[in-house]
């Protein structure tokens, strides 16, 4: 593990330009860049990206920046801070760094975040880390995930002392059962309560789910800035998503049908359809109250310029939410975006209204706990009451222990809530034969009428 204390740190003036723009309500246009593989030549990479970076830095009309990812597709990538230091020589507080918890320890993450701060990178988004395409429970031995909520929790004092330190929280709103969506949102609220200052929604294609997230946060009186990730699709990217390359990202059959039709068009027609889709999503997100977008899949100066001109024109052309909805419906809305038979939405009138105050809740029973689950709970509770010192909790934040279960039942070792990769049928992404621990806990919480441990 790299020791960042040995770096020759370069302090930047006391400022956080991205945070200021978030507070001012500017619309942010951020472009995602993956940290390259460790065996790449850093000078070659930075010179290849140089026109792209120049284009991002010269955007007018929007606050722009980069979002640099860490270990997104491979653990064999460069140290994120080495790359960011070489790549972003100035205005570092325009950018944000995703810090992966994959194979990192509490100390190594704390050291890395301090070094990011000292190097002028003041916008940090801790993520627990992803599972790569071919990984299964069997070949995950020795791989650990340091949970994002744990990172934020350990930084509480730093956050209080440094108002310019801007920590974000990622959520995956593309979940379609009560168990999976509510456990995602509980974890998000927990991270906001711990000190996260903005939200980033993972990428997906269901605009209703983006609105659901906004309404949920408003309903809970959380008004933190919200960014949405958007992936620009290319034929190669579509193939990768279908093959499961990006865990937790999927296309519904209807969505896939439209994309298949588009891929049979000429190259220029295919790209015209993708840019139109991109424009409509950005405009919809803007009208839903998102503070900006994090765009992945673009890596050239030419693409950055097109993206910005498309965003500028659509935001000028569309005058209201209703106006946007009419155009969106004409283009996309007949597609069913949910992965049938899983199609739970917290609100039943999404897209019909713009504002949360008209939201109507969906009424649906939660899947019940089995008799065996209830008996096990009651027996464990009794045992704990009779022998209180026998089993100590692993951590006071460990949700599973609140329901007399062990967090070891989660193969990624999450103790604060579900990861973003839970399968739609509530099973575990690493062990599809078993229910996700957090879906199980949600059912127990619902039976006990006690959701407090989740937050
Ligand atoms: S048990 Fe749930 S939270 Fe844990 S790895 Fe599996 S899907 Fe993710």
Where a domain ends, among 327, 358, 389?
358
Q: How many whole angstroms from 181 Cα to the centroid of ligand 1?
A: 13
Instruction: For residues 403 and 279, state if they share a domain.
Output: no
Cα 62 to ligand 1 centre (Å): 38
Residues 331, 379 within the same domain: no
377-402 confidence digits (pLDDT tens): 999 989 888 887 655 545 667 899 99
Give the position, in ligand 1's atom list, of the atom nearest the Cα of 427: 7
Q: Answer yes or no: is 365 within a domain.
A: no
What CATH number does the domain containing 176 carry?
A: 3.20.20.220
Provide the β-strand partners of residue 139.
Answer: none
Residue of the CA atom closest to atom 5 of ligand 1: 412
Domain with 349, as residue range(s), is 4-358
Residue (of 212, 185, 155) closest to 349 by Cα position: 212
pLDDT value of position 8: 42
| d(CA 336, ligand 1 centre) in Å | 26
What is the phi/psi pair of residue 419, to 5°? -80, 175
User: Residue 117 falls within a domain, yes or no?
Assistant: yes
* 353/387 same-domain check: no
What is the model's pLDDT at position 396? 65
Tell whether 366 is covered by a domain. no
pTM score, whole prediction: 0.92
The whole-number pLDDT of residue 236 equals 83
Q: Are 83 and 211 found together in one domain?
A: yes
Determine the pLDDT at residue 331: 83
> Ligand 1 within 6 A of 81 CB?
no
Whether residue 304 sits in one domain with residue 258: yes
Domain count for the chain:
2
Instruction: For residue 340, report the distance from its CA to the centre of ligand 1, in Å.
Output: 21
pLDDT at 304: 97
Q: Is the CB of 405 under 6 A from ligand 1?
A: no
Question: Measuring from atom 3 of ligand 1, which residue has the nearest CA?
Answer: 418
Whether 415 lines ligand 1, by a CB cut-off of 6 Å, is no
- In this predicted structure, what is the pLDDT of residue 2? 61
Claim to verify: residue 15 and residue 129 sit in the same structural domain: yes
Kindly state whether residue 221 falls inside one of the protein's structural domains.
yes
What residue owns the CA closest to ligand 1's atom 2?
Answer: 436
Give a three-class secondary structure readout of the chain: CCCHHHCCCCCCCCCCHHHHHHHHCCCEEEEEEECCECCCCHHHHHHHHHHHHHHHHCCCCCEEEEEEECCCCCCCECCHHHHHHHHCCCCHHHCEEEEECECCCHHHHHHHHHHHHHCCCCEEEEECCCCCCCCCCHHHCCCCECCHHHHHHHCHHHHHHCCCCEEEEEECCCCCCHHHHHHHHHHHHHHHHHCCCEEEECCCCCHHHHHHHHHHHHHCCCCCCEEEEEECCCHHHHHHHHCCCCCCCCCCHHHHHHHHHHHCCCHHHHHHHHHHHHHHHHHHHHHHCCCEEEEECCCCHHHHHHHHHHHHHHHHHCCCHHHHHHHHHHHCCCCCCCCCCCCCCCECCECCECCHHHCCECCCCCCCCCHHHHHHHHHHHHHHHHCCCCCCCCCCCCHHHHCCCCHHHCCCCCCCCCCCCCCCCCECCCCCCCECHHHHHHHHHHHHCCCHHHC
Of 331, 358, 385, which residue sits at a domain end?
Answer: 358
State the Cα–Cα distance between residues 149 and 45, nearest whole angstrom. Answer: 32
Co-location of 270 and 403 in the same domain: no
Q: How many CA atoms lie within 13 A of 352 on its CB side?
A: 8
Return the half-sphere exposure (C-beta side, CA atoms, 13 A cut-off) of residue 414.
Answer: 27
Could you tell me the distance, in angstroms and rounded to a whole number, from the CA of residue 113 to the centre of ligand 1? 26
Which contiguous run of DSSP H or E holds residue 30? strand 28-34
Q: How far apart are CA 127 and CA 167, in angstroms?
A: 11
Which strand (E) or helix (H) includes residue 151? helix 148-154
pLDDT, tens digit, 9 for 90 and up, residues 272-303: 989 999 999 999 999 999 999 999 999 999 99
pLDDT at 1: 54
Does 303 share its domain with 440?
A: no
Q: Is 196 in the pocket of ligand 1 (CB under 6 A)?
A: no
Please say whether the beta carbons of 4 and 39 come within 8 A.
Answer: no
Q: Which of the 8 DSSP states describes residue 227?
A: E
Question: What averages of pLDDT result for each successive group of 10 residues across the chain (455 residues)?
Answer: 51 78 94 94 92 94 95 91 93 95 92 93 95 85 92 89 93 96 97 96 94 97 97 85 76 81 85 93 96 95 96 95 93 80 95 90 92 94 80 68 92 94 94 95 96 93
Domain membership flag for residue 329: yes
Residue 363: inside a domain, yes or no? Answer: no
Most informative mutation of 147, 433, 438, 443 for ligand 1 (most atoms within 8 A of CB): 438
Residue to mutate, 143, 414, 416, ligand 1, most ligand atoms under 8 Å from C-beta: 414
The tokens describing 278, both together, are 């991109």
- Residue at token pair 């801070």: 81
Is residue 255 included in any domain, yes or no? yes
Looking at the structure, tell me whether residues 354 and 375 fall in a common domain: no
Residues 399 and 319 in one domain: no
352 shares a domain with 375? no
Tell me, what's the pLDDT at 11?
47
Residue 7 confidence (pLDDT):
44
**Closest CA to ligand 1's atom 6:** 428
Shared domain check, 21 and 111: yes
Say which DSSP state 352 is in. T
Q: Give 314's Cβ-side CA count (13 Å radius).
A: 23
**CB of 429 shorter than 6 A to ligand 1:** yes
**Could you say which of 333, 358, 383 is where a domain stops?**
358
Would residue 131 count as lying in a domain?
A: yes
Q: Which atom of ligand 1 is nearest to the CA of 409?
A: 1
CA of 399 to the centre of ligand 1 (A): 13
């Amino acid at each position: 593990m790299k020791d960042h204390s040995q770096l020759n740190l370069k302090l930047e003036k006391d400022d956080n330009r991205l945070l200021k723009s978030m507070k001012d309500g500017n619309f942010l246009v951020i472009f995602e860049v993956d940290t390259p593989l460790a065996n790449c030549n850093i000078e070659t990479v930075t010179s290849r990206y140089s026109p792209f970076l120049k284009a991002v830095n010269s955007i007018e009309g929007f606050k722009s920046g980069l979002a640099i990812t860490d270990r997104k597709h491979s653990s064999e990538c460069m140290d994120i801070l080495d790359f960011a230091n070489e790549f972003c020589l100035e205005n570092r507080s325009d950018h944000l760094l995703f810090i992966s918890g994959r194979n990192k320890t509490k100390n190594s993450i704390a050291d890395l975040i301090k070094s990011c701060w000292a190097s002028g990178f003041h916008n940090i988004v801790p993520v627990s880390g992803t599972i790569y395409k071919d990984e299964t429970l069997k070949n995950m031995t020795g791989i650990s995930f340091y949970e994002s909520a744990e990172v934020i929790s350990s930084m509480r004092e730093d956050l209080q002392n440094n108002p310019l330190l801007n920590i974000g929280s990622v959520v995956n709103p593309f979940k379609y059962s009560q168990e999976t969506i509510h456990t995602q949102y509980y974890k998000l609220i927990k991270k906001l309560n711990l000190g996260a200052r903005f939200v980033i929604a993972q990428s997906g294609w269901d605009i209703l789910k983006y609105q659901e997230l906004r309404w949920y946060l408003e309903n809970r009186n959380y008004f933190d800035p919200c960014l949405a990730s958007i992936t620009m699709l290319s034929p190669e990217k579509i193939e990768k998503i279908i093959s499961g390359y990006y865990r937790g990202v999927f296309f519904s059959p209807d969505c896939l049908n439209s994309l298949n039709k588009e891929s049979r068009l000429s190259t220029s027609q295919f790209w015209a359809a993708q840019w139109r889709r991109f424009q409509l999503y950005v405009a919809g997100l803007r009208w839903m109250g998102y503070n900006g977008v994090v765009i992945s899949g673009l890596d050239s100066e030419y693409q950055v310029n097109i993206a910005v001109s498309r965003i500028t024109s659509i935001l000028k052309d569309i005058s209201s939410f209703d106006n946007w909805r009419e155009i969106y419906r004409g283009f996309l809305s007949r597609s069913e975006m949910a992965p049938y038979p899983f199609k739970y939405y917290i609100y039943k009138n999404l897209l019909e209204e713009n504002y949360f105050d008209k939201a109507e809740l969906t009424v649906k029973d939660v899947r019940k706990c089995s008799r065996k689950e209830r008996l096990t709970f009651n027996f464990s509770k009794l045992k704990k009451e009779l022998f209180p010192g026998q089993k100590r909790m692993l951590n006071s934040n460990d949700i599973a222990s609140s329901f007399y279960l062990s967090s070891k039942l989660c193969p990624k070792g999450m103790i604060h809530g579900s990861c973003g990769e839970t399968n739609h049928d509530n099973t575990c992404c690493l062990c599809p034969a078993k229910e996700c621990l957090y879906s199980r806990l949600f059912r127990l919480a619902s039976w006990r009428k006690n959701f407090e441990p989740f937050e």
